[in-house]
Amino acid sequence: MLNCARFANEDRTLAPDDLDKPLGSKRSARTQPRWSVPVLPLVAGALASLIAVGLVWIAVVDDPLGGEPMARVAIGAPPSKFENQGSAQTAKAETPRSAEKSPAGEQTVTIIDGKSGTRTSVPVKGSDDAGESAVGTAPPADERLTEPSRHGPIPRVAADGKRALEAYARAVPAAARKGPQIAIVISGLGIGASTTGEALAKLPNATTLAFVPYGTELPRWIAKARGAGHEVLLQVPMEPFDYPDNDPGPQTLLSSLTAAQNVDRLHWFMSRAQGYVGVTNLMGARFTSSEAAFAPIIADVSQRGLLYFDDGTSPRSLTQKSAANSKAPFLKADVVIDTKANWSDIDAALEKLERLAIEQGFAVGSANALPVTIERIARWAKEAEGRGIRIVPLSAVATRTKQS
């Protein structure tokens, strides 16, 4: 009996290790973990901390765009009720301009090219000293040539039949009426103080200047230009083919809107300032290729005593056909001077313009307000006058084409 009990105790002592136990058998107390990490509570705590930090950031930091760069531009009046109608109607020059260094405190608007992604900072409020040396005193706009609208005063034909086209035209000296004549329109002015001042200081005063309607000091710049002897055009933003990736700005005329809506937008632009002889397109390849969209615009321009100028950048433009149907005063550029913005191509375009003037008696060129363009035109103009070429304002060519 004693031996059997001893052998039974030995069997218990020599029990197989846990590794030798069959699957499913209970582990020994020695192998049980003494502690474990509570994973779910830790994850929940981390998420709660992140949410709390986000709520504190939103409450403390006044940045609804989350750090996205933005620029604010004062455009002088609340937008039209039609601004947000249509599928995509938000608010660039068609050709990207090189960014200019802005003086301290100057407001800028960042323009993003829809094709290349190039970002351009354009100043919209400049120093009062810019261009002062080249500016005289301009007569004020004639109140008889304006009428009220819901946006502000807009042009009209006076009761005696006087039109802005004649009232604000620059007189042409008798000597300039002989020989080949060339009119040149420089676009994109009024939003960069340095560029606009440079154009006023360097270009012949017979050059016609076209102003973008968004500048905060548009009336002042137009007065300066007229005081320096320049004729002035108002640029009207119109829909390009790649809109809205390429967007001229708020209140752009769109082929998807009704005629009444587009005319209302036109009046919004016209109310920004007075003293211009006519209007011209800012971009607008799609809009001007639609006669149905463009015809009401040029009809209204004509009824208000203004000239329409097509800058010649769109080969599909039907503006000339619409102008003929409405009998509106109309001119189109024969040569776009700075399609390629380098000095050799600009000089070649000016030579072509000069040849056309000699052949036809007159010619019209258009260009952007780029520093290289301004410099080459100023240089060419001095030499061309020595060859008998007369630089004249746009209205002089319009009068000549009407008579021919």
List CB contacts of 294: < 8 A, sequence separation 6 or more: 287, 288, 318, 319, 322
Domain contains 3: no
Q: Per-residue pLDDT tens for 121-166?
A: 544 443 333 333 334 456 788 899 999 999 999 999 999 999 999 9
- Please check whether residue 186 is in contact with residue 394, taking contact to mean a CB–CB distance below 8 angstroms: no
- Structurally, the chain folds into a number of domains equal to 1
pLDDT for res 125: 40
**Domain range holding 331?**
147-403
Domain contains 44: no
Least confident of 93-97, 229-233, 240-244, 289-293: 93-97
Closest among 360, 351, 361 to 390, alpha carbons compared = 361
Q: Per-residue pLDDT tens for 370-395?
A: 999 999 999 999 999 999 999 999 99
Q: Per-residue pLDDT tens for 198-215?
A: 999 999 999 999 999 998
Domain contains 330: yes
Domain contains 286: yes
Segments in 61-189 forming alpha helices (H): 164-167
| Average pLDDT taken over every residue of the chain | 79
**Tokens representing residue 150 in the block:** 């819901």
Domain contains 317: yes
User: Which residues in 168-227 belong to E strands, given as ranges?
Assistant: 181-189, 208-211
CATH of residue 356: 3.20.20.370
Domain contains 243: yes
Domain contains 182: yes
Q: How far is CA 299 from CA 87, 141, 260, in A?
A: 26, 23, 12
Residue 275 has pLDDT above 70, yes or no: yes
Residue 13 has pLDDT above 50, yes or no: no
Domain contains 153: yes
